[in-house]
Every structure is written in structure tokens, then in C-alpha cells.
Amino acid sequence: MVYKAFASVYHALMPENLYDEWLDYMKLFTPDLQGKTIVDLGCGTGDLAQRLSDEGARVIALDASEDMLAIARRETEGSISYLKGDMRDLSILPKADQIVSFCDSLCYLLEDDDWQKVFQQVYQKLKLGGWWHFDCHSLAHIEDFDGFIYREETDDWDLFWESELGQDYHVIHHLTLYHKEGDLTYRRYDEDHEEKTYPPEQIVQWLHEAGFDEVYSSSDFNKAPIDSEGAERLFFSCRKGEEK
């Protein structure tokens, strides 16, 4: 499911420093992003796209949620082109120096074939020597969501968030948002969001099958090995070499 009403509070819930860490992670592999064409898959409200543009990159930002894109277009500026689309179909995109997908965006794809399809299309859309960077939930972190309960209240909205674990590293997030419309009036919105992740060795196998020979993996912004106990996010960086 794409973000709808929840898009209006997404930005407020996301710590700003995470976007700085994603940018710093990318610069471990390419310190100078000036003039690079970078595609951001699952761009959300455009926070990373803005940082990439500030670095001098030409950014193409794709998201399936029109509500997210409306906020991104309103809140960002610079050399950023926003497109509504599905990351499983990248036919509308030009060749890119880098393609990225952070904040667990791939985890919204619930079928094995969908992950493989994204990897194959990313490989085709990268220029030679280009980088594909992405992250996803670790298996342990998905399991941590079982029974998760969260509430946040502001002057404008109240959010209730409950999560339950499904099968095979699948989690369902139940979100209820009360948006203030008057002194004593709130409108209720309900959304369910599903995520799934995979063992890192399975992900690496799919990357190799897509054509990537050069694959680097780590966890939590390259701060620890991928198999570290307690890791929350797994990071993968893949470089497109010579055509086979």
C-alpha cells in the first residue's frame, strides 16, 4: 500500500540526521557527487533528494505515492525531477550514474519476483561503473516489530501505530491517524502497511543473478558487518562492471 494520509506526518516522524547518514554512506563510495545523475527510488518527501541536489547532483526522484510527491515538490528545490511510478518498472528512466533506495523502501515489495525484477532493471539502467545503493530491514529487526506499539501526539494530529508479525519475515503495520480539523473536530484515517525482508545471502544471490559481480554488504550505515548481532538495517552497494 502506498502512503496516503500518513504522508502528512511522515516527515515529522523521520529524524533529520538519518538523511545525513544516508548521504554520508553514499559518499564513502563516491565522495564527489557533482554532476552525477542519481535516481532515488521511493523518494518519499524528498529529503534525501534535496541533499543530493545540494551536492550538485541531477536528481530523478520516483515514488508511488502522489501524496508524498506533493509534499516533496512543495518543500524542496534545486535540480530535482519528481516522477510518480513503481520501482518495478523503470522504463521511463534514463541511464544513471547511481541509483539508490533507502529507508527500507524495498521492503514494501512482498514477493521474491519483485525484488529480482528491481535488481534486474536497476542493472540495466546504470551506466558502466555506476553504483546501486540500498538498505532493508534485518531479519532480527523485522521480528522486533511483533507487538510493537507507538503513539505520538501533536497540536495538529494524533498517531497510533501497532505492528504484528506475519510469516516468513513479514510484518503488518496498522496506522490510525486523527487529523485535527477544528477546535473539537478530528478526521480519522486508517492505513495498513506491509513489509518483508530476506536473508542477506538470498539478496546477494539475486544481485549476482542480475549481473552485479561487485557487491559490498554491511549493516547500520557501514558501522558493522552485515552479520552483526543487533543490526537493524542491512546495507548493500553494488557496482556495475563491464557488460557480459
pLDDT tens digits, 189-214 = 999 999 999 999 999 999 999 999 99
pLDDT tens column, 7-33: 778 878 888 899 999 999 999 999 999
The CATH number of domain 141-196 is 2.20.25.110: yes
Cα separation, 139 vs 9, in Å, equals 27
User: Which class for 102: exposed (0-12), middle (13-18), buried (19 or more C-beta within 10 A)?
Assistant: buried
pLDDT over 90 at 95, yes or no: yes
Q: Tell me where in the chain the CATH 3.40.50.150 domain(s) lie.
A: 7-138+199-239
Q: What is the CATH number of domain 7-138+199-239?
A: 3.40.50.150
| Burial 5-28, CB ≥16 within 10 A → b, else e | bbbbbbbeeeeeeebeebbebbee
What pTM does this model have?
0.95
Q: Where in the chain is the domain with CATH 2.20.25.110?
A: 141-196
Task: Reply yes or no on whether the pLDDT at 231 is more than 90.
Answer: yes
The three cell numbers of residue 225 are 558487518
Q: What is the pLDDT averaged over residues 59-80?
A: 94
Identify the residue with better confidence: 89 or 10. Answer: 89
- Per-residue model confidence (pLDDT) at position 236: 98
Per the listing, cell 520516483 goes with 62
